[in-house]
Copies of this chain bind each other. A is one copy, B any other.
Amino acid sequence: MNIDTNLLALDNPVFHTYLLAACLMLLKLMLQPWITVYRMMKVRAGFRSPEDARRTPLNPQPVEGQLEPNEYVERSRRMNLNDLESIPGFLAAGLLFVLVGPPLLLAQLLLWTYVAARGAHFVAYATAQIHDVRATLWTFSSLSVIAMVVYTLLRVL
């Protein structure tokens, strides 16, 4: 029996760490669209499809311009797109990284750096901090994923 068969069991601390980090990032990924919805409902603007400007229970008093881009709503959409460019890659890279059996300390370092950087990036983006802050945090998250991929690649080659 191959020892690798237990890499995806909860009693593998590397997998346990990954599972925790992945769940937090999945919540982030799934909740950002709710923030977009909340913002659209609050300003009753920033809708995207022509039919969204019709009078319905969710839009009882349609007004002119509801389909125009609205910065308050667009910001949340950009944050969502930024998540899409990063989180699925993190989830996949992290799982493959777990499957090549990295040292626990390295796994904790890379996985938690990613989670912390994305959490801080969310705050920086939502509060419109200067680009340099957002870019620095994004760099930490991107390098964490790239490091996991490179580690995995070196184990495979």
Contacts and interface: CB of A to CB of B under 8 A. Distances in A.
A58 B30 CA distance: 31
A22 interface: yes
Contacts of A52: 131
A18 B131 CA distance: 37
A120 interface: no
A109 interface: no
Contact of A92 (B10, B88, B128): B88
Q: Which secondary structure dominates chain A's binding surface?
A: helix
Contacts of A27: 146, 149-150, 153
Chain B CB count within 10 A is highest, among A9, A16, A23, A37, for A23
Contacts of A95: 95
A156 B6 contact: no
Contacts of A155: 10
Given A4-B9, A20-B157, A56-B132, 11 more contacts: A4-B6, A19-B156, A26-B93, A26-B145, A30-B145, A49-B128, A49-B131, A49-B134, A50-B71, A56-B130, A95-B95
Interface of A: 1-2, 4-11, 16, 19-20, 22-24, 26-27, 29-31, 33-34, 37, 47-52, 54, 56-59, 71, 75, 78, 80, 84-85, 87-89, 91-93, 95-96, 99-100, 125, 128-132, 134-135, 142, 145-146, 149-150, 152-153, 155-157
